[in-house]
Structures are given as C-alpha cells and as structure tokens.
Amino acid sequence: MFLTMLFLTILTLLARATSQPLEDLSSSAPSAIGTIGIENHMGATVYFWSVDDKQGPMRTIEAGRSYVEEYRLRPNGGGISIKLAMSPDITNIIQFEYTRLGDKVWWDVSCVDTKPGSPFYAKGIKLDSATPQCPHNFVCAPGDERCPFVYHVWNDDHATHGCPVDSFLHLTLGV
C-alpha cells in the first residue's frame, strides 16, 4: 500500500511539473491542490471520461496501471465526474464525483448507473487517503452490490464527504 501511494504521489508531482510552462517552474509556491488516483486491478482495460460541462474524450487505464487527476474546477461551477466503464460505451458505469470549493474538495463514489452483475461489484472497490484530515477510507468487498459507502440512488447523501483540497484520494478498482 505504501509503495502504491508513494508511486502515485510521484506521478502526481511529475504531472504537475511537466504540465507547467517552463517559466512557471521557478515559482516558490507549490500547488496546494490534491489529486484523485485511480488504480486498475480489474484484469482488463478500464475506459473513462472526465466530465465537466461537457464529456471529455474517452481514455483508458490498462490493467495494472493508474490514472491521476488533479482536482480541477468546472468552468461554470459545480462538480466533475470521472465515469469509469469496462467497455468503450459509457454504460454500466461507476463514478468518482468531486467538487472543489474553497479549501475543501467534496467527493463521493456513485453506483447509481452501475447495473447488477457489474464487474465493479464482482471485483470490489476501495478508497483510501493518506491525509489524516480525510478519514473516509472504505472497502466494498467483491460481490457486495449494496455496499453502504457509495451512492445507489440519487439522494444517498451519507456517501458524500469533505476533505482538505490538498488531499490525495486513492480509488482502487478490483480489490
């Protein structure tokens, strides 16, 4: 677990450094924005879309690989949804949803659009954070289609959590 968190933290730092223009690299203030890391242990490619006001392009996370996204702002306000599927059509999805608001990031995992028998249910999911002020770690065991830690209907608001905006969250697909 420690090595995975270390690896994803290093990837995040590299992504930040390489995505900035050269003149910005000398800035003395480091970024105070955290990230969501998604790790694929499903045994197959995971397809995903990072959606704000419009659906972003389809991308993939190969089996055994990870994706890291710095919490970003939605252009017209509101949240971001990372929609994850086991096929390139955006159906039978699980979603990591977040909203950056001031010094907090509000997040949840939604299975509202996950169908019974989904590979995500079959393989389980887990979310953890190394940020002490974000103690909302959970595991949905393989086969648990009623995991109490995620949204199953639109108003499962008990599944929404707030953490400091610099928190690193780690979602593992397939536990």
**What does each C-alpha distance from 92 to 12, 46, 49, 89, 153 come to in angstroms?**
28, 12, 13, 9, 14
- Given this model, what pLDDT does residue 14 score? 41
- Given this model, what pLDDT does residue 54 score? 87
Per-residue model confidence as pLDDT tens digits over 92-143: 999 999 999 999 999 999 999 999 999 999 999 999 998 999 989 999 999 9
- Given this model, what pLDDT does residue 156 score? 82
Residue owning tokens 């270390």:
6
pLDDT < 70: residue spans in the chain: 1-31
Q: Strands of 125-129's sheet, edge to edge?
A: 66-70, 35-40, 168-173, 125-129, 138-140
CB 48 within 8 A of CB 83: yes
- Given this model, what pLDDT does residue 16 score? 41
**Amino acid letter at 89?**
D
Q: Which domains does the chain have, with CATH numbers?
A: 2-173 (2.60.110.10)
